[in-house]
A and B are shown apart, each in its own frame.
Chain A
Amino acid sequence: MNTLEVHDLSINYLTNEGIALNAVDGLTFSLEQGRSLGLVGESGCGKTTVMLSLMRLLPEAGRIVDGQILFNGRDLLQISERDMQSVRWKDISMVFQGAMNALNPVRTVESQIVEVLQLHNIIDSTRDARKRAGELLELVGIPAKRGSQYPHQFSGGMKQRAMIAMALACNPQVLIADEPTTALDVMIQAQIIELLEKMQRLLGLSLVLVTHDLGVVAEMCDDVLVMYGGTVAEYASSDVIFNNPQHPYTQRLLKAFPDIAEPGSDLASIPGNPPRLDNLPPGCRFEPRCHVGKGEPICLKQLPPLVEIEPGHHVACHLVKGV
């Protein structure tokens, strides 16, 4: 069974004037136990909104208007906030973007992990909780005795490790990592990737990785979901996405990303900008920037449905024919 299944998820943001802006439309994906899914797309494509909705942590203006989020078969959108609190962090936890600034600067790292353990009633006694916090730090490669230090005494990479330790404190099944390697140095980035892979293997975690770095996705993820303007453009295994992409957007995105194995190869940016939520194109959201379908009558008129063109390979494009 799939640990996490999302069906037809749609999310709106309400403006101060009460106008609903559609940020995510008809998002569908599933995640098996122990597998990893990469969620990629440009800034503003709705990646972070999707993440937050999985934890039901959307800001006040955000409304989930349609769809289901099934965790082990239970619809998280139907349960009470109280029940959700027992899912959050215990079943699904998250490593937030900008982990550098996510730790409380005036408390020791250990006490912040102890707080998580006690708040979620994992361990009540402070002494045991501190012992467990030490174990968690060792697990992510930080000597336990450094837990008594403050975040400013940690380097960037160590702060990120501490954030991962905290996310793992309640033995979650699903770990959501929002841009976990952005803003880190190359070598530290590699260390964090290795750590996440190790944790996944060791603890059987399912991982949702949100990033705009296609390289990191290729290294880590089994499946990839490419988002554009709040919709799924293409969803398939990582091998298919990188070697047989069908959606024009995926193709252009890969062309825009430099490959260190091929120095000097041609790169091309995608002309134009991602659509604004208050001014979405009436048809396919990628149509204005598309090199294949720009001006095509059907692309101008209709939002393309997500079609499975071969087993496990989903594409939302009017001009891609099924195999």
Chain B
Amino acid sequence: MEKQPILQIEDLYKQFPVTRTFVDRVKRSPKQVVHALDGISFSVAQGEILALVGESGSGKTTVGMNVLGLQVPTKGYILFDGYNMADWAMGKLKSRKNGDELSRLSKRKQILALRRRAQMVFQDPYESLNPRQTIWEIVVEPLEIHDLGLSADEKEARVRAALEDCGLAPADHFWNRYPDELSGGQRQRVVIAGALVLEPELLVADEPVSMLDVSIRADILTLLQSLRKTRNITILYTTHDLATAGYFTDRMAVMYLGRVVEIGPTAEVLKEPRHPYTQALVSVAPVPNPRKKRKRMILQGEVPNPIDVPSGCRFHPRCPIATDECKITDPPYVKITSKHKVACLKTLSVD
């Protein structure tokens, strides 16, 4: 049986206005907007790990921000456990179900209730820990803010469990130290422990290993994977590195210029990519074996400016197989298998 989706994203748009200079206003040049997200829909099941991959400017981080309610969508919506995320994050939830407790809470309590359930792991563990706080202070802080009415013993048990689940055992060996006494990998574990201490259901991890040394990346990825087993947590993993995503995620959504161009089970997408963009990304990912050299499909140029999105298929200016039709028609999704979808006009003709 299909698991219930915990997160549903429907036709999500996010635009940022471009700041107009004085000269722009005098010249009355038209208002411009950055189309960061341009119609994104997908859902994530409870306990699933989804990878969002793409180059810089593809909008993957914006998805994460919207999912956590840190930004408000321009159009479309995100449902988290059935509630509209944008309203919830601002404490403006209106009663959807009769006698629904959440919508009766005060604004602040609504927001706190959300943060208890959805947390974020940031990219750079060297920047995201306060150097003047001990590990204990960092990890216990969310419990103090949320004031869960825990006794001192219960708090200690929570902090201990969070640290030890993240591989910092025994916890009391670590919690009196300061971040500068820890290695990069240990710091990232502290960041994750801080996100876990409230026992959230959803974790958005934005490039959590890109700043770490190769030899310790695997550990952090394995840790994220194990959290699904121990805590049944749902993870949205944002990265530009297909290889790390291939290692531990269930499904993969490939983004290009504010759209999901291909989504499907990770192994399937990596072994048989169908969208020409995914094919190019997979072909250029370095393989650690000189005997397995593949023909690289290098796309020239860079991701176009999201202010001025190309007509038709947004990938057509860089696409090796684009035809005239691709310049006009915005491709709809084509189902490859029940779980694998691709937005490309040429995919049909390939079969």
In this assembly, does A42 line the interface, its C-beta being within 8 Å of a C-beta of chain B? yes
Complex interface: chain A residues within 8 A of B284 (CB):
186-187, 189-190
Question: If the complex has contacts A191-B298, A265-B247, A270-B215, are A186 and B285 also in contact, measured as CB distance less than 8 A?
Answer: yes
Inter-subunit contact A269/B218 (CB<8 Å): yes
Inter-subunit contact A214/B215 (CB<8 Å): no
B81 to chain A: closest CB distance in Å? 29
> How does the 8 Å CB contact mask read for A247-265 relative to B, with 1 for contact and 0 for none?
0000011111111110111
Taken together as a complex, chains A and B put the C-alpha atoms of A257 and B280 apart, in Å, by 21
Inter-subunit contact B287/A215 (CB<8 Å): yes
Question: If the complex has contacts A187-B299, A191-B298, A219-B293, are A261 and B287 also in contact, measured as CB distance less than 8 A?
Answer: yes
**Most A-side CB within 10 Å, residue of B222, B241, B270, B285:** B285
Question: If the complex has contacts A42-B213, A187-B55, A187-B284, are A264 and B246 also in contact, measured as CB distance less than 8 A?
Answer: yes
In this assembly, does A21 line the interface, its C-beta being within 8 Å of a C-beta of chain B? no
Inter-subunit contact B218/A186 (CB<8 Å): no
In this assembly, does B156 line the interface, its C-beta being within 8 Å of a C-beta of chain A? no
Taken together as a complex, chains A and B put the C-alpha atoms of A256 and B290 apart, in Å, by 17
Inter-subunit contact B214/A260 (CB<8 Å): no
In this assembly, does A188 line the interface, its C-beta being within 8 Å of a C-beta of chain B? yes
A224 to chain B: closest CB distance in Å? 9
Inter-subunit contact A269/B247 (CB<8 Å): no
A227 to chain B: closest CB distance in Å? 13
Inter-subunit contact B246/A242 (CB<8 Å): no
Of B185, B247, B289, which contacts A267 at CB under 8 A? B247
Inter-subunit contact B281/A186 (CB<8 Å): yes
Inter-subunit contact B302/A188 (CB<8 Å): yes
Question: If the complex has contacts A253-B214, A269-B218, are A215 and B285 also in contact, measured as CB distance less than 8 A?
Answer: yes
Of B215, B271, B289, which contacts A263 at CB under 8 A? B271
In this assembly, does A213 line the interface, its C-beta being within 8 Å of a C-beta of chain B? yes
In this assembly, does B15 line the interface, its C-beta being within 8 Å of a C-beta of chain A? no
Complex interface: chain B residues within 8 A of A263 (CB):
246-247, 266-267, 270-271
Residue on A with the closest CB to B246?
A263
Inter-subunit contact A260/B270 (CB<8 Å): yes
**Most B-side CB within 10 Å, residue of A215, A239, A257, A258:** A258
In this assembly, does B217 line the interface, its C-beta being within 8 Å of a C-beta of chain A? yes
Question: If the complex has contacts A258-B218, A264-B247, A265-B247, are A218 and B298 also in contact, measured as CB distance less than 8 A?
Answer: no
Question: If the complex has contacts A215-B285, A268-B218, are A43 and B213 also in contact, measured as CB distance less than 8 A?
Answer: yes
Residue on B with the closest CB to A253?
B215
A107 to chain B: closest CB distance in Å? 24
Which residues in window 159-193 of A have CB below 8 A to B? 185-191, 193
Inter-subunit contact B244/A258 (CB<8 Å): yes
Inter-subunit contact A257/B266 (CB<8 Å): no
In this assembly, does A155 line the interface, its C-beta being within 8 Å of a C-beta of chain B? yes
Complex interface: chain B residues within 8 A of A80 (CB):
none
Taken together as a complex, chains A and B put the C-alpha atoms of A260 and B278 apart, in Å, by 13
Of B271, B282, B289, which contacts A218 at CB under 8 A? B289
In this assembly, does B296 line the interface, its C-beta being within 8 Å of a C-beta of chain A? yes
> How does the 8 Å CB contact mask read for A261-290 relative to B, with 1 for contact and 0 for none?
101110111100100000000000000000
In this assembly, does A194 line the interface, its C-beta being within 8 Å of a C-beta of chain B? yes
Which residues in window 280-327 of B have CB below 8 A to A? 280-282, 284-293, 296, 298-300, 302
Instruction: Count A-side interface residues using an 8 Å CB cutoff.
Output: 43
Question: If the complex has contacts A214-B288, A219-B286, A259-B289, are A187 and B266 also in contact, measured as CB distance less than 8 A?
Answer: no
In this assembly, does B105 line the interface, its C-beta being within 8 Å of a C-beta of chain A? no
Residue on B with the closest CB to A249?
B215
Of B185, B266, B287, B290, which contacts A259 at CB under 8 A? B287
In this assembly, does A243 line the interface, its C-beta being within 8 Å of a C-beta of chain B? yes
Inter-subunit contact B217/A269 (CB<8 Å): yes
Which residues in window 214-237 of A have CB below 8 A to B? 214-219
**Most A-side CB within 10 Å, residue of B218, B244, B248, B296:** B218
Inter-subunit contact A260/B298 (CB<8 Å): no
Residue on B with the closest CB to A216?
B286
Inter-subunit contact A187/B218 (CB<8 Å): no
In this assembly, does A53 line the interface, its C-beta being within 8 Å of a C-beta of chain B? no
Inter-subunit contact A42/B287 (CB<8 Å): no
Inter-subunit contact A186/B222 (CB<8 Å): no
Taken together as a complex, chains A and B put the C-alpha atoms of A267 and B248 apart, in Å, by 10
Complex interface: chain A residues within 8 A of B302 (CB):
155, 157, 187-188
Of A157, A188, A193, A218, which contacts B287 at CB under 8 A? A218
Inter-subunit contact B287/A258 (CB<8 Å): no
A193 to chain B: closest CB distance in Å? 8
In this assembly, does B336 line the interface, its C-beta being within 8 Å of a C-beta of chain A? no
Taken together as a complex, chains A and B put the C-alpha atoms of A261 and B219 apart, in Å, by 20
Inter-subunit contact B56/A185 (CB<8 Å): yes
**Interchain residue pairs with CB less than 8 A apart (18):** A186-B281, A187-B298, A189-B284, A190-B296, A191-B298, A194-B296, A194-B298, A214-B286, A214-B288, A215-B243, A218-B287, A242-B289, A257-B214, A259-B287, A259-B289, A263-B267, A265-B247, A267-B247
Question: Closest 5 CB pairs between A and B?
Answer: A215-B286, A263-B246, A190-B284, A269-B219, A267-B218
- Interface positions of A (Cβ within 8 A of B): 42-43, 155, 157, 185-191, 193-194, 212-219, 238-239, 242-243, 252-261, 263-265, 267-270, 273
Q: A190-B284, A269-B219 are in contact. List 9 more A-B contacts (CB 8 A).
A: A43-B213, A155-B302, A213-B286, A215-B287, A257-B218, A258-B218, A258-B243, A261-B287, A264-B247
